[in-house]
């Protein structure tokens, strides 16, 4: 199913507030003034999603160097995200999006009749205007390289 009115480059992200793996409410507005790298992914503890999440963790200092905040989102529970974050030492927010409300507000595509998040990453500027979008289900770790490369090109 293709979502109606998907966010595209140049659009401002819709504001959102979700619970993270520590059961703390995270608002997108908490990060105004910083670029965001928001990645939607299908499922905690699966090979591709784990590789992607750990790759974002491994490049944390590179994202910090360009001032960006990484945020992972899917529909799993806070408890699932807590276990996922602890097992793999993920130190960025992993947000629980029950019912895919935020993903759908982005117009981000889903799988299995839109019941599972597809793998898509949105990179924004400091005002949360989308500057880059990368979508690839199979190339999970390329999301990190693609988003970081784009952000570094802005700093030059």
Q: Is residue 68 part of a domain?
A: yes
Q: What is the CATH number of the domain that holds 82?
A: 3.40.30.10
Task: Report the run of H or E that residue 116 belongs to, with start and end.
Answer: strand 116-117
Q: How do the pLDDT tens digits run along the chain, 156 residues long?
A: 444 578 889 999 999 999 999 999 999 999 999 999 999 988 888 888 899 899 999 999 999 999 999 999 999 999 999 999 999 999 999 999 998 899 888 877 665 545 455 778 999 999 999 999 987 656 666 778 888 888 888 765
- Compute the distance between CA of residue 8 and CA of residue 42 in angstroms, rounded to an integer: 21
Query: Is residue 7, in this structure, part of any structural domain at all?
Result: no
Q: Per the domain annotation, does 76 fall within a domain?
A: yes
User: Domain residues for 33?
Assistant: 17-155
Residue 3 falls within a domain, yes or no?
Answer: no
Residue 69 belongs to some domain of the structure: yes
In a domain, 119, yes or no: yes
Residue 88 inside a domain? The answer is yes
142-155 vs 47-58: helix axis angle to the nearest 10?
Answer: 30
Q: Measured between alpha carbons, how far is 8 from 133 in angstroms, rounded to an integer?
A: 8
Task: Quote the CA–CA distance of 106 and 40 in Å, as a whole number.
Answer: 10
- Domain contains 5: no
* Active site residues per annotation: 49
Q: What is the C-alpha separation between 117 and 39, in angstroms, rounded?
A: 10
Structure pTM?
A: 0.89
Counting the structural domains of the chain, the total is: 1
Task: State how far the Cα of 113 lies from the Cα of 111, in Å rounded to an integer.
Answer: 6
């Amino acid at each position: 199913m293709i979502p109606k009115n998907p966010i595209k480059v140049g659009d401002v992200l819709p504001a959102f507030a979700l619970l993270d793996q520590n059961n703390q409410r995270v608002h997108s507005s908490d990060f105004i003034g910083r670029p965001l790298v928001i990645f939607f992914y299908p499922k905690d503890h699966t090979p591709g999603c784990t590789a992607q999440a750990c790759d974002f963790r491994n490049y944390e200092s590179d994202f910090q160097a360009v001032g960006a905040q990484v945020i992972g989102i899917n529909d799993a529970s806070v408890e699932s995200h807590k276990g996922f974050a602890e097992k793999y030492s993920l130190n960025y927010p992993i947000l629980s999006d029950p019912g895919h409300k935020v993903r759908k507000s982005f117009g981000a595509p889903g799988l299995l009749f839109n019941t599972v998040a597809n793998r898509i990453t949105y990179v924004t500027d400091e005002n949360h205007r989308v500057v880059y979008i990368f979508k690839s289900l199979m190339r999970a770790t390329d999301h990190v390289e693609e988003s970081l490369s784009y952000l570094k090109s802005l700093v030059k």
